[in-house]
Amino acid sequence: MASLQTLVRFEIYLETEKRYSQHTLLAYQTDLAQFLSFAEINNEQDLQEVNHQLIRGWMVDLLEQGITPRSVSRKLSCLRSFFGWIKRQGDRADNPMLKIRGPRVEKRLPQFIKQTEFTEERIDPLFGNDFDGIRDRLMLELFYQTGIRLSELLGLKELDVSSTHIKVLGKRNKERIIPIGEELFERISFYRLHKPIGQDSQNVLFVKRDGRKLSPKFVYRKINTYLGSVTNAQKKSPHVLRHTFATHMLNNGAGLETLKELLGHANLSATQVYTHNSFAQINSIYSQAHPRGRKN
Protein backbone atom coordinates (compact mmCIF):
# COMPACT_ATOMS: atom_id res chain seq x y z
CA MET A 1 0.00 0.00 0.00
CA ALA A 2 2.78 2.42 0.92
CA SER A 3 4.25 2.06 -2.57
CA LEU A 4 1.23 3.77 -4.15
CA GLN A 5 2.41 7.26 -5.06
CA THR A 6 -1.19 8.48 -5.24
CA LEU A 7 -1.70 7.51 -1.62
CA VAL A 8 1.54 9.18 -0.51
CA ARG A 9 0.57 12.40 -2.30
CA PHE A 10 -2.91 12.31 -0.74
CA GLU A 11 -1.46 11.99 2.75
CA ILE A 12 0.86 14.93 2.10
CA TYR A 13 -2.17 16.92 0.91
CA LEU A 14 -4.10 16.13 4.10
CA GLU A 15 -1.17 17.09 6.31
CA THR A 16 0.07 20.23 4.55
CA GLU A 17 -2.97 21.73 2.84
CA LYS A 18 -5.88 20.47 4.95
CA ARG A 19 -3.68 20.64 8.06
CA TYR A 20 -5.34 17.64 9.66
CA SER A 21 -4.20 16.52 13.11
CA GLN A 22 -2.12 13.39 13.59
CA HIS A 23 -5.16 11.69 15.06
CA THR A 24 -7.24 12.41 11.93
CA LEU A 25 -4.37 11.43 9.61
CA LEU A 26 -4.06 8.08 11.37
CA ALA A 27 -7.81 7.48 10.99
CA TYR A 28 -7.61 8.22 7.24
CA GLN A 29 -4.59 5.94 6.85
CA THR A 30 -6.34 3.12 8.69
CA ASP A 31 -9.57 3.42 6.69
CA LEU A 32 -7.74 3.57 3.36
CA ALA A 33 -5.58 0.60 4.28
CA GLN A 34 -8.68 -1.44 5.08
CA PHE A 35 -10.31 -0.60 1.77
CA LEU A 36 -7.19 -1.23 -0.33
CA SER A 37 -6.76 -4.59 1.39
CA PHE A 38 -10.39 -5.57 0.76
CA ALA A 39 -10.17 -4.46 -2.90
CA GLU A 40 -6.77 -6.16 -3.34
CA ILE A 41 -5.23 -3.00 -4.76
CA ASN A 42 -1.49 -3.42 -5.27
CA ASN A 43 -0.63 -0.83 -7.91
CA GLU A 44 -1.82 2.37 -9.57
CA GLN A 45 -3.69 0.48 -12.30
CA ASP A 46 -5.74 -1.40 -9.70
CA LEU A 47 -6.67 1.94 -8.17
CA GLN A 48 -7.88 3.23 -11.54
CA GLU A 49 -10.22 0.25 -11.87
CA VAL A 50 -12.08 0.84 -8.59
CA ASN A 51 -15.80 1.32 -9.29
CA HIS A 52 -18.91 1.96 -7.23
CA GLN A 53 -19.84 -1.73 -7.16
CA LEU A 54 -16.55 -2.57 -5.44
CA ILE A 55 -17.01 0.22 -2.90
CA ARG A 56 -20.59 -0.85 -2.24
CA GLY A 57 -19.34 -4.41 -1.71
CA TRP A 58 -16.91 -3.14 0.92
CA MET A 59 -19.70 -1.24 2.66
CA VAL A 60 -21.88 -4.37 2.79
CA ASP A 61 -18.95 -6.44 4.07
CA LEU A 62 -18.31 -3.96 6.89
CA LEU A 63 -21.95 -3.98 7.96
CA GLU A 64 -22.02 -7.80 7.90
CA GLN A 65 -18.98 -7.77 10.19
CA GLY A 66 -21.03 -5.82 12.71
CA ILE A 67 -19.37 -2.45 12.11
CA THR A 68 -21.85 0.24 13.12
CA PRO A 69 -23.47 2.40 10.42
CA ARG A 70 -21.83 5.45 11.99
CA SER A 71 -18.36 3.93 11.63
CA VAL A 72 -19.10 2.76 8.09
CA SER A 73 -20.22 6.28 7.17
CA ARG A 74 -16.97 7.67 8.52
CA LYS A 75 -14.96 5.23 6.41
CA LEU A 76 -16.98 6.14 3.33
CA SER A 77 -16.33 9.80 4.07
CA CYS A 78 -12.62 9.01 3.91
CA LEU A 79 -13.06 7.38 0.48
CA ARG A 80 -15.17 10.33 -0.65
CA SER A 81 -12.31 12.70 0.18
CA PHE A 82 -9.75 10.38 -1.44
CA PHE A 83 -11.49 9.85 -4.77
CA GLY A 84 -12.70 13.44 -4.92
CA TRP A 85 -9.08 14.56 -4.56
CA ILE A 86 -7.92 12.08 -7.24
CA LYS A 87 -10.45 13.49 -9.70
CA ARG A 88 -9.45 17.08 -8.94
CA GLN A 89 -5.85 16.14 -9.60
CA GLY A 90 -6.86 14.90 -13.05
CA ASP A 91 -5.78 11.34 -12.30
CA ARG A 92 -9.28 10.00 -12.95
CA ALA A 93 -12.09 11.22 -15.17
CA ASP A 94 -14.80 9.97 -12.80
CA ASN A 95 -15.48 9.72 -9.09
CA PRO A 96 -16.92 6.31 -8.10
CA MET A 97 -18.16 7.72 -4.79
CA LEU A 98 -20.83 9.82 -6.53
CA LYS A 99 -22.98 6.70 -6.85
CA ILE A 100 -22.55 5.64 -3.23
CA ARG A 101 -25.09 6.33 -0.50
CA GLY A 102 -24.00 5.45 2.99
CA PRO A 103 -26.08 3.52 5.53
CA ARG A 104 -28.71 5.39 7.46
CA VAL A 105 -27.24 6.75 10.69
CA GLU A 106 -29.41 7.56 13.66
CA LYS A 107 -28.68 11.04 14.96
CA ARG A 108 -27.46 11.11 18.53
CA LEU A 109 -27.89 14.13 20.76
CA PRO A 110 -24.75 15.21 22.63
CA GLN A 111 -24.75 13.99 26.21
CA PHE A 112 -24.31 16.63 28.89
CA ILE A 113 -24.41 17.04 32.66
CA LYS A 114 -27.32 18.85 34.26
CA GLN A 115 -26.65 22.15 35.98
CA THR A 116 -28.16 20.77 39.18
CA GLU A 117 -25.56 17.99 39.18
CA PHE A 118 -22.62 20.23 38.38
CA THR A 119 -22.66 22.66 41.29
CA GLU A 120 -19.60 23.85 43.20
CA GLU A 121 -21.09 22.39 46.39
CA ARG A 122 -20.96 18.92 44.83
CA ILE A 123 -17.63 19.35 43.07
CA ASP A 124 -15.40 21.05 45.66
CA PRO A 125 -15.29 18.11 48.15
CA LEU A 126 -13.85 15.84 45.43
CA PHE A 127 -10.48 17.59 45.38
CA GLY A 128 -7.66 17.67 47.89
CA ASN A 129 -5.44 20.63 48.77
CA ASP A 130 -2.27 19.08 47.33
CA PHE A 131 -0.86 19.80 43.86
CA ASP A 132 -2.85 17.00 42.21
CA GLY A 133 -6.10 18.31 43.65
CA ILE A 134 -5.37 21.92 42.64
CA ARG A 135 -4.41 20.90 39.09
CA ASP A 136 -7.32 18.50 38.58
CA ARG A 137 -9.84 21.06 39.86
CA LEU A 138 -8.47 23.60 37.39
CA MET A 139 -8.64 21.13 34.49
CA LEU A 140 -12.28 20.37 35.27
CA GLU A 141 -13.14 24.08 35.39
CA LEU A 142 -11.30 24.86 32.16
CA PHE A 143 -13.18 22.15 30.31
CA TYR A 144 -16.50 23.34 31.69
CA GLN A 145 -15.97 27.11 31.49
CA THR A 146 -14.33 27.25 28.05
CA GLY A 147 -15.54 24.15 26.17
CA ILE A 148 -12.04 23.32 24.92
CA ARG A 149 -11.15 19.89 23.60
CA LEU A 150 -8.82 17.47 25.38
CA SER A 151 -6.07 18.03 22.79
CA GLU A 152 -6.46 21.79 23.20
CA LEU A 153 -6.07 21.62 26.96
CA LEU A 154 -2.92 19.50 26.60
CA GLY A 155 -1.57 22.01 24.08
CA LEU A 156 -2.10 25.06 26.30
CA LYS A 157 1.17 26.89 26.87
CA GLU A 158 2.04 29.31 29.66
CA LEU A 159 2.12 32.17 27.15
CA ASP A 160 -1.41 31.30 25.97
CA VAL A 161 -3.00 32.45 29.24
CA SER A 162 -3.80 36.03 30.20
CA SER A 163 -6.01 37.52 32.90
CA THR A 164 -8.95 37.88 30.49
CA HIS A 165 -8.63 35.06 27.95
CA ILE A 166 -6.84 31.95 26.77
CA LYS A 167 -5.45 31.38 23.29
CA VAL A 168 -6.29 27.94 21.90
CA LEU A 169 -4.85 26.12 18.91
CA GLY A 170 -7.72 24.01 17.56
CA LYS A 171 -8.30 21.67 14.67
CA ARG A 172 -6.26 22.33 11.52
CA ASN A 173 -4.10 24.69 13.60
CA LYS A 174 -6.86 27.27 13.71
CA GLU A 175 -6.30 29.71 16.56
CA ARG A 176 -9.12 31.19 18.62
CA ILE A 177 -9.47 33.37 21.70
CA ILE A 178 -11.76 32.30 24.54
CA PRO A 179 -12.62 34.74 27.36
CA ILE A 180 -12.22 33.62 30.97
CA GLY A 181 -13.63 35.09 34.15
CA GLU A 182 -11.77 36.53 37.11
CA GLU A 183 -12.47 33.49 39.29
CA LEU A 184 -11.01 31.10 36.71
CA PHE A 185 -7.88 33.21 36.28
CA GLU A 186 -7.44 33.21 40.08
CA ARG A 187 -7.52 29.40 39.95
CA ILE A 188 -4.87 29.42 37.23
CA SER A 189 -2.68 31.79 39.25
CA PHE A 190 -3.07 29.64 42.38
CA TYR A 191 -2.14 26.54 40.38
CA ARG A 192 0.98 28.27 39.02
CA LEU A 193 2.16 28.95 42.59
CA HIS A 194 2.16 25.19 43.24
CA LYS A 195 3.37 24.07 39.82
CA PRO A 196 6.55 21.94 40.08
CA ILE A 197 9.69 22.59 38.08
CA GLY A 198 10.44 20.02 35.40
CA GLN A 199 11.46 19.54 31.80
CA ASP A 200 8.04 20.66 30.45
CA SER A 201 6.83 23.07 33.14
CA GLN A 202 8.33 26.18 31.53
CA ASN A 203 6.39 25.54 28.34
CA VAL A 204 3.04 23.77 28.78
CA LEU A 205 0.51 24.85 31.38
CA PHE A 206 -0.44 21.45 32.78
CA VAL A 207 2.14 19.02 34.13
CA LYS A 208 2.46 16.06 36.47
CA ARG A 209 4.17 16.21 39.86
CA ASP A 210 7.52 15.51 38.17
CA GLY A 211 7.12 18.51 35.85
CA ARG A 212 6.41 16.43 32.75
CA LYS A 213 3.48 17.14 30.47
CA LEU A 214 0.25 15.16 30.77
CA SER A 215 -0.92 12.40 28.43
CA PRO A 216 -4.44 12.18 26.97
CA LYS A 217 -5.13 8.95 28.88
CA PHE A 218 -4.03 10.55 32.16
CA VAL A 219 -6.46 13.46 31.76
CA TYR A 220 -9.29 11.24 30.52
CA ARG A 221 -9.02 8.93 33.55
CA LYS A 222 -8.97 11.87 35.95
CA ILE A 223 -12.06 13.53 34.46
CA ASN A 224 -13.90 10.23 34.16
CA THR A 225 -13.34 9.49 37.85
CA TYR A 226 -14.47 12.91 39.07
CA LEU A 227 -17.57 13.01 36.89
CA GLY A 228 -18.51 9.55 38.12
CA SER A 229 -18.93 11.08 41.58
CA VAL A 230 -21.41 13.76 40.51
CA THR A 231 -23.48 12.34 37.66
CA ASN A 232 -25.14 9.18 36.44
CA ALA A 233 -24.63 10.19 32.80
CA GLN A 234 -23.60 7.26 30.61
CA LYS A 235 -20.53 9.04 29.26
CA LYS A 236 -18.08 10.79 31.58
CA SER A 237 -15.28 12.34 29.58
CA PRO A 238 -13.65 15.70 28.78
CA HIS A 239 -15.80 15.84 25.63
CA VAL A 240 -18.96 15.52 27.72
CA LEU A 241 -17.83 18.67 29.54
CA ARG A 242 -17.50 20.37 26.15
CA HIS A 243 -21.10 19.36 25.39
CA THR A 244 -22.11 20.55 28.86
CA PHE A 245 -20.48 23.94 28.28
CA ALA A 246 -22.32 24.37 24.98
CA THR A 247 -25.70 23.25 26.30
CA HIS A 248 -25.54 25.39 29.43
CA MET A 249 -24.47 28.41 27.36
CA LEU A 250 -27.47 28.04 25.04
CA ASN A 251 -29.86 27.38 27.90
CA ASN A 252 -28.73 30.61 29.51
CA GLY A 253 -29.13 32.83 26.46
CA ALA A 254 -25.98 32.54 24.34
CA GLY A 255 -26.43 32.86 20.57
CA LEU A 256 -25.45 30.17 18.09
CA GLU A 257 -22.93 32.37 16.27
CA THR A 258 -21.15 33.21 19.51
CA LEU A 259 -21.13 29.57 20.57
CA LYS A 260 -19.78 28.55 17.16
CA GLU A 261 -16.78 30.85 17.61
CA LEU A 262 -16.14 29.71 21.18
CA LEU A 263 -16.22 26.03 20.20
CA GLY A 264 -14.10 26.55 17.10
CA HIS A 265 -16.61 24.94 14.73
CA ALA A 266 -15.96 25.38 11.01
CA ASN A 267 -19.66 25.86 10.24
CA LEU A 268 -22.89 26.56 12.07
CA SER A 269 -24.43 23.14 11.36
CA ALA A 270 -22.00 21.55 13.83
CA THR A 271 -23.20 23.94 16.53
CA GLN A 272 -26.92 23.61 15.80
CA VAL A 273 -27.02 20.08 17.23
CA TYR A 274 -27.05 21.67 20.69
CA THR A 275 -30.34 23.43 19.97
CA HIS A 276 -32.08 20.06 20.33
CA ASN A 277 -30.91 19.85 23.93
CA SER A 278 -31.97 23.45 24.51
CA PHE A 279 -35.41 22.79 23.06
CA ALA A 280 -35.79 19.80 25.35
CA GLN A 281 -35.02 22.10 28.28
CA ILE A 282 -37.53 24.72 27.07
CA ASN A 283 -40.17 22.04 26.48
CA SER A 284 -39.68 20.68 29.98
CA ILE A 285 -40.06 24.15 31.52
CA TYR A 286 -43.17 24.81 29.42
CA SER A 287 -44.76 21.52 30.48
CA GLN A 288 -44.20 22.34 34.14
CA ALA A 289 -45.08 26.04 34.02
CA HIS A 290 -48.07 26.40 31.70
CA PRO A 291 -51.43 25.35 33.21
CA ARG A 292 -52.49 23.71 29.94
CA GLY A 293 -49.08 22.14 29.44
CA ARG A 294 -49.19 20.01 32.57
CA LYS A 295 -50.68 16.57 32.63
CA ASN A 296 -53.11 15.79 35.42
Return the CATH number at 151: 1.10.443.10
Q: Tell me: do 225 and 95 sit in the same domain.
A: no
283 pLDDT higher than 70: no
Q: Tell me: do 130 and 263 sit in the same domain.
A: yes
SS (H, E, C) the chain: CCCCHHHHHHHHHHHHCCCCCHHHHHHHHHHHHHHHHHCCCCCHHHHHCCCHHHHHHHHHHHHHCCCCHHHHHHHHHHHHHHHHHHHHCCCCCCCHHHHCCCCCCCCCCCCCCCCCCCCHHHHHHHCCCCHHHHHHHHHHHHHHHHCCCHHHHHHCEHHHECCCEEEEECHHHCEEEEECCHHHHHHHHHHHHHCCCCCCCCCECCECCCCCECCHHHHHHHHHHHHHCCCCCCCCCHHHHHHHHHHHHHHCCCCHHHHHHHHCCCCHHHHHCHHHHHHHHHHHHHHHHCCCCCCC
Q: How high does pLDDT run on average in the chain?
A: 90
Domain of 148?
A: 120-288
Q: Tell me: do 147 and 195 sit in the same domain.
A: yes
pLDDT single digits (tens) 131-172: 999 999 999 999 999 999 999 999 999 999 999 999 999 887
pLDDT single digits (tens) 174-189: 899 999 999 999 999 9
**Residue 199 within any structural domain of the chain:** yes
Q: Tell me: do 60 and 129 sit in the same domain.
A: no
289 pLDDT higher than 90: no
**Residue 260 within any structural domain of the chain:** yes
pLDDT band at 278 (very low <50, low <70, confident <90, very high): low
Q: Tell me: do 143 and 218 sit in the same domain.
A: yes
pLDDT band at 225 (very low <50, low <70, confident <90, very high): very high
Q: Tell me: do 133 and 175 sit in the same domain.
A: yes
Q: Tell me: do 190 and 75 sit in the same domain.
A: no
CATH number at residue 17: 1.10.150.130
pLDDT at position 1 is 40
Q: Tell me: do 85 and 136 sit in the same domain.
A: no
pLDDT band at 72 (very low <50, low <70, confident <90, very high): very high
Domain boundary among 42, 66, 99: 99
Q: Tell me: do 38 and 141 sit in the same domain.
A: no
**Residue 114 within any structural domain of the chain:** no
Q: Tell me: do 38 and 95 sit in the same domain.
A: yes
Which positions are annotated as active-site residues? Answer: 149, 171, 239, 242, 265, 274
**Residue 111 within any structural domain of the chain:** no
pLDDT at position 90 is 92
pLDDT at position 271 is 86
**Residue 53 within any structural domain of the chain:** yes
pLDDT at position 272 is 85
Q: How many domains is the chain built from?
A: 2
pLDDT band at 40 (very low <50, low <70, confident <90, very high): very high
**Residue 294 within any structural domain of the chain:** no
